Amino acid sequence: MRIGILTIHAAFNYGAMLQAYALQTVLNKLGHDVHIIDYYPKNVERENFMREFSSNPKQIVKYIYARINPNVQKKIKRFNEFRNQMKTTIRYMDKTELCRNPPEFDVYMVGSDQVWNLERGFDSFWFLNFIKDKRKISYASSFGTSTISDEYDELLKKYLTGFHAISTRELDGVNIIKSATGLEATQVLDPTFLLNADEWISISSSTIIKGDYILCYGFDASEKSKLMIDSIKKRLKLPIIAISISLAIPYKADRFIQEAGPCEFLSLIRNAKFVCTSSYHGMAFAIKFRKSFIATIHPYRNSRMESMIASFGLENRQINNPLDILDMNDIDLFIDYSSIETRIESGIADSLYWLKSSLL
């Protein structure tokens, strides 16, 4: 069967690229001919390659820094190489072009990631409005939040009614769809869970850091974030190794791996002694590699993280008071994955079963 995936695959973001790669790979393993619909606007390309230029002094400094910094350029090259290894359709630079002349597939699939995030309004494009009389499936699509405005109810009903099967990444997404449309949706795991650890290791880079370290990924400049990182360093007495899709990090680290692309991201999580993150996919890959981790509580988009860790009984990994870390004993700080292995494997099996069944 020929399948086309519409997802957020082109942005130079670790989670976005890896989830797109995962869904395509899983469907290929199931015997299908799978292409990612290459919606890749010029503005996204300019952002990826740090080619945005403006008269704003801060933007000018950022632009020059990105152009002359060899580590930033190396990261850009690594992201671009990873994107280019995915099997895609011809490139579409705007939605009008794609809607006017969509590629031909037997099945069109949207997801995962926050393809249904409505913070900037409703965009029917991400609900496959341009596809008529073909099977449409949503796999692990995310609203990114626990509630949406009632004003979107009729639009959701209009565009989701034509779907053959609907799944979301969060339980809140299932509830949103049921409440807004009356339609049934299923909660499934993010596609990054559907590849096993060995499959991820096979595309990860070689070991970058020798010895034990704490990997920090994400985080804002808040005092709470900085306190969490300081606390885990004091508690474990290990160096902080940081990665970010941004040009800088807002906290002190022993080393900032500025040149990390998706393959380096995988390697750094796989080899870490401990992971400290504010990222959904930072948590997802920590679990995939069976790493102990702690995470922040997102002030208004916590649904996706909360739903994932609740599936595995790991709710205590989100820390509200960073100072609590200093008093945690090893039993509380480190995760005993043997106690939840069955839950993880069951979630993966159920998600794979749903994906296979949706294509029958």
Residue 215 maps to which CATH number?
3.40.50.2000
250 & 130 share domain? no
Asked if 177 and 166 touch (Cβ cutoff 8 Å), the reply is: yes
Q: Residue 53: what pLDDT?
A: 65
Q: Residue 163: what pLDDT?
A: 98
167 & 26 share domain? yes
77 & 55 share domain? yes
Q: What is the dihedral of CA 175, 140, 314, 13, to 10 degrees?
A: -130
Phi and psi angles of residue 209, each rounded to the nearest 5 degrees, phi first: -115, 130
Q: Residue 297: what pLDDT?
A: 85
Between CA 217 and CA 232 the distance in angstroms is: 13
How many structural domains are present in the chain?
2
Q: Residue 63: what pLDDT?
A: 84
108 & 254 share domain? no
101 & 33 share domain? yes
81 & 210 share domain? no
182 & 64 share domain? yes
222 & 318 share domain? yes
Q: CATH number, domain at 187?
A: 3.40.50.11930
184 & 253 share domain? no
The domain in which residue 182 lies consists of: 2-194+348-358
Between CA 7 and CA 192 the distance in angstroms is: 14
Between CA 257 and CA 78 the distance in angstroms is: 13
180 & 103 share domain? yes
Instruction: Show pLDDT as tens, one digit a residue, over the chain (360 residues).
Output: 999 999 999 999 999 999 999 999 999 999 999 999 999 999 999 999 987 767 788 888 888 899 899 999 999 999 999 999 999 999 999 999 999 999 999 999 999 999 999 998 999 999 999 999 999 999 999 998 899 999 999 999 999 999 999 999 999 999 999 999 999 999 999 999 999 999 999 999 999 999 999 999 999 889 999 999 999 999 999 999 999 999 999 999 999 999 999 999 999 999 999 999 999 999 999 999 999 999 988 776 778 889 999 999 999 999 999 999 999 999 999 999 999 999 999 999 999 999 999 999
29 & 66 share domain? yes
DSSP run (H or E) holding 88: strand 88-92
In the numeric block, the tokens 């590849």 are attached to 195
Q: Residue 56: what pLDDT?
A: 82
Asked if 273 and 248 touch (Cβ cutoff 8 Å), the reply is: no
326 & 253 share domain? yes
Asked if 301 and 294 touch (Cβ cutoff 8 Å), the reply is: no
Model's pTM, two decimal places? 0.96
| Torsional class of 3: left (φ above 0), alpha (ψ -120 to 50), beta (otherwise) | beta
Q: Residue 181: what pLDDT?
A: 97
CA 208 to chain centre: 22
